[in-house]
Amino acid sequence: MRLEATELTDDERALQQEVRSWLRKRLPVGSYPLGLGMSGEIDPEFSRDLGAQGWLGMALPTEYGGHGRTAVERLIVVEELLAVGAPVGFHWVGDRQSGPSIAKHGTEEQKRDLLPRIARGEVSFAIGMSEPDSGSDLASLRTRAVREGDGWRVNGTKIWTSGAYESTHILALFRTSEDKHTGLTQFIVPRETEGMSINKIPFIDGTRHFCEISFEDMYLPDSLRMGEVGGGWGQNTAELVLERGGVDRWMSVMPILENWATSRSVEGDAAAAADLGAIAARSWAFRGMSLSVARMVDEGKSPVTEAALIKEMATRFEQECTDIVARHYGRTPDLHSDDPHESLLARAILVSPSWSIRGGTNEILRTVISKGLNKR
């Protein structure tokens, strides 16, 4: 386990200021629906504007429309977006993990087709991993892709696929042979593919981004396969580093915290001030850990254990922050309140239990951490 202390350079701080001042103009307070971190609203126009700034696909290679920047520079942009609850839902998954994975494992054709569009904020990816009987034990998944002519015939069901209905592509993991781990292969499935139907599942806060996907005799040409046949498990594991170790794992409630910290209720309240101090100290520590993971990614490493450690601790922190603000609120916040911060807090109370489930449950992450530590 290595999480080395690191700080932003002067150039990185300049980028932070640039993003901050652009966001003040592009998203004036009250002009957009506040989001809870990565579950921000889906706003393709905002995603395209962000792409035009060069702030999507930042670490993708320049020959494919990316910007050849670093994972740390991407972290800086993302941190500013999440701090204001920006509408990041359309581009989130593609920018965070599908793009980098396609850059690494995609064919030349896939890279030329998709990476420039990810960097311009024109496409939206969903993650097709979990199935009704395969969540924690993902490698037991049963949606089968069977060779047929020059392609694959797919049958099965995916569930809990966030944002699939509004997405343009699903990066899916299918079973291509019986071997548990080496029998899995990734495919890039365009949203309109015949044989795929997507149904929305209502979430506890009334939103409908959660989906179930059925594949009934769906045919995919082999050109949509990503990476080697049987190489899906390793590719998927590497993606989870990008999914687990980032600032998105502890910043969901930042707009709520900022509003609470600057509100009158904290002034002259010793208990609230003590809670705020503890939250600030822990936020700073998590920020340092995510920054350290991003520097490791920039060095070409795949810090699986470190990313799992961040997610396990940080999602519990987000949940505790929600509980603390709710406790100090003095009454039950109303989900339908005209005050956007009140309704956001009400949503956070409803959905925060899911933060330590999505992306792998804490029980599973603890296993990943202990296995990783025992290896050394």
Q: How far is it, in rounded angstroms, from Cα 263 to Cα 269? A: 11
Work out whether 319 is an interface residue with ligand FAD (CB under 6 A): no
Helix, strand, or coil (residue 217): strand
Of 171, 179, 39, 17, the residue nearest 105 (C-alpha): 171
Work out whether 252 is an interface residue with ligand FAD (CB under 6 A): no
Q: Cβ distance 7 to 16 under 8 Å?
A: no
Tell me the one-letter amino acid at 245: G
Work out whether 161 is an interface residue with ligand FAD (CB under 6 A): yes
CB 364 to ligand FAD: min, Å: 6
CB 349 to ligand FAD: min, Å: 15
Work out whether 139 is an interface residue with ligand FAD (CB under 6 A): no
DSSP per-residue letters across 261-272:
HTSGGGTT-HHH
Work out whether 361 is an interface residue with ligand FAD (CB under 6 A): yes
Residues 83, 119, 129, 224: which binds ligand FAD (CB under 6 A)? Answer: 129
Q: Cβ distance 252 to 37 under 8 Å?
A: yes
β-pairing, 125-128 with 169-175?
parallel
Work out whether 350 is an interface residue with ligand FAD (CB under 6 A): no
Residues 8, 20, 113, 135: which binds ligand FAD (CB under 6 A)? Answer: 135
Window of 26-34, 56-64, 73-81, 354-362 that interacts with ligand FAD by CB under 6 A: 354-362
Residues 47, 124, 130, 186: which binds ligand FAD (CB under 6 A)? Answer: 130
Contacts 24+ apart (CB under 8 A), 108-112: 109/223, 110/188, 110/223, 110/226, 111/64, 112/64
For residue 364, what is the DSSP state? H
Task: Name which of 16 and 214 has its Cβ closer to ligand FAD.
Answer: 214
| CB-count exposure of residue 44 (10 Å: 0-12, 13-18, 19+) | middle
> How many residues are there in the chain?
376
Site for ligand FAD (CB under 6 A): how many residues? Answer: 17
Of 176, 164, 244, the residue nearest 209 (C-alpha): 164
Helix, strand, or coil (residue 1): coil
CB 158 to ligand FAD: min, Å: 6
| CB-count exposure of residue 328 (10 Å: 0-12, 13-18, 19+) | middle
Q: How far is it, in rounded angstroms, from Cα 158 to Cα 214? A: 7
Work out whether 124 is an interface residue with ligand FAD (CB under 6 A): no
Task: Name which of 61 and 353 has its Cβ closer to ligand FAD.
Answer: 353
Task: Name which of 175 and 358 has its Cβ closer to ligand FAD.
Answer: 358
Residues 23, 198, 229, 357: which binds ligand FAD (CB under 6 A)? Answer: 357
Residues 363, 370, 371, 373: which binds ligand FAD (CB under 6 A)? Answer: 363
Phi, psi angle pair for 187, to nearest 5°:
-135, 145
Task: Name which of 151 and 234 has its Cβ closer to ligand FAD.
Answer: 234
Work out whether 127 is an interface residue with ligand FAD (CB under 6 A): yes
Residues 160, 165, 260, 317: which binds ligand FAD (CB under 6 A)? Answer: 160
Window of 44-52, 122-130, 258-266, 342-350 that interacts with ligand FAD by CB under 6 A: 122-130
Q: 142-157 burial string, b = 16+ CB within 10 Å, else e?
A: ebbbeeeeebbbbbbb
Task: Name which of 72 and 365 has its Cβ closer to ligand FAD.
Answer: 365
Work out whether 360 is an interface residue with ligand FAD (CB under 6 A): yes
Interface residues with ligand FAD (CB under 6 A) are 126-130, 135-136, 160-162, 354, 357-358, 360-361, 363-364
